[in-house]
Amino acid sequence: MRILVIGSGGREHALVKGLASDPAVKEVHAAPGNPGMAAQATCHPEARDVANADAMVALAREISADLVVIGPEIPLVAGVSDAVREAGFAVFGPSKAAAQIEGSKAFAKDVMAAAGVATARAEQVLPDSTDDAVERALDNFGPMYVVKDDGLAGGKGVVVTADRAAARQHVFAVHAAGNPVLLESFLDGPEVSLFCLVDGETVVPLLPAQDHKRAYDNDEGPNTGGMGAYTPLPWLPEDGVQRIVDEVCVPVAKEMAARGVPYSGLLYAGLAWGAEGPAVVEFNCRFGDPETQPVLSMLKSPLGEALNAVATGKLAELPPLEWEDGYALTVVLAAEGYPDNPQKGATITSPDLDDPAKILHAGSALAEANTDGQFVANGGRVLSILGKGATLEDARAAAYEVIEGVEMPGSFYRKDIGLKAANGGISIP
């Protein structure tokens, strides 16, 4: 197979890495990709506008792609998958209509209500709401307020706070951008990220993971796109994954199909596991970042075969997925100022920069006037550092040994990814 991966971040580098190791995959192309993945894929830096459907179709034709894998949410919500499918290509990624599961939180809530899926109580507050209406809506929630941008926000459009003034401020900030707000009740319990391959009503789960959203240690600081993740979850009940599949993912897939918008691609369920079991925090219509990095590093089955089975409507025929034993963990190296004002241009040095088993590139670029392959920061989350081991402690040690050898002025990373789980500090309420 000749495969085109659309996107340029750490998630896409993980996909490229997995596809490049599949014996059935002869060529991997990335649009636009990034220089860090150039050893595993032919990058097309000219194809920077990934939401430009005509450009993506033209590139797929130029390289005669057998499969197009769409990584980010923006092109999916924009309908790029529909255009590429209509041009005759197999596509891994949901239609524009199905991608509303992430693009509109109100749509997702409606689907869950119809499917009988547990989730937080929610109320939509429109941008033209008066100050009094906002106050009345806030009266219905708390003492912990969950305020979400009802649109795409790259994982950073949520404020969870006990401070009503901070909640109110985020409501007005989202409204100022012209977007509706979703107020939600707070869901207690540890969070779980579960990726599922979905083909109509067929659902195949991957390994469960846990993301770390806050910027700093001890879950302090602003929400980010994710500062690290680990897989699997030693504290999850033995039947945890199957419960999520049976109680959440299958009912949602069936409801989507019943609405005439069958789902095809990767369905990401973000959940909180409380006293009553799993409840949905959010859905994403694509692989999540940074969970994809450790999860795919544990996959023994051919990735290309799995994604192609979904894209061609043959997921039910796919052999059971096989996974390595042990644990995997990723730590994100972020640029100075992330997430609010990431600084670009800092030089990156490490003996492992060219080893995708240890470092996956996200917001990196080659320095201008480059003469020696020098990488520089070119985004907020610059690198994803991978570690694997027989135990979660071993995986943590492996990842942190690598990241301690990376030098990038002004950069920072969390020191506690997976630490609470490794110490037995996470339990189900």
Tens digit of each residue's pLDDT (9 = 90 or more) over 358-368 = 999 999 999 97
Model confidence over 269-287: pLDDT tens digits? 999 999 889 999 999 999 9
The CATH fold assigned to 121-185 is Dna Ligase; domain 1 (3.30.1490)
Q: How do the domains of the chain map onto residue ranges?
A: 2-95, 121-185, 191-317, 327-422
In this model, does residue 155 exceed pLDDT 60?
Answer: no
Q: Is the pLDDT of residue 302 over 80?
A: yes
Asked if residue 322 has pLDDT above 90, the reply is yes
Please give the average per-residue pLDDT across 145-154, as a whole number. 78
Tell me the mean pLDDT in the region 94-101. Answer: 98
> What is the average pLDDT across 228-232?
98
Q: Is a pLDDT exceeding 70 seen at residue 156?
A: no
User: CA of 43: how far to CAs of 29, 62, 180, 387, 394, in Å?
Assistant: 6, 13, 37, 26, 34
Pick the CATH number of 2-95 from 3.40.50.20, 3.40.50.170, 3.90.1170.50, 3.40.630.30: 3.40.50.20
* pLDDT per residue as tens digits for the range 235-266: 999 999 999 999 999 999 999 999 999 999 99
Strand ranges of the sheet holding 145-149, from the earlier edge strand across to the other edge: 122-125, 181-184, 145-149, 158-161
Long-range contacts (CB closer than 8 Å, 24 or more residues apart) made by 251-257? 251/115, 251/116, 251/117, 252/101, 252/111, 252/112, 252/115, 252/117, 252/283, 253/198, 253/200, 253/201, 253/202, 253/203, 254/115, 254/201, 255/111, 255/114, 255/115, 256/98, 256/101, 256/111, 257/200, 257/201
| pLDDT number for residue 127 | 92
Architecture of domain 191-317: 2-Layer Sandwich (3.30)
Please tell me what DSSP assigns to residue 119. B
Q: How confident is the model at residue 402 (pLDDT cuts 50, 70, 90)?
A: very high
Please report, rounded to a whole number, the percentage of residues in the chain having pLDDT higher than 70.
98
List, for residues 203-218, the tens digit of each pLDDT value. 999 999 999 999 999 9
Kind and range of the H or E element at 135? helix 131-139
Provide the CATH number for the domain formed by 327-422 in this structure. Answer: 3.90.600.10
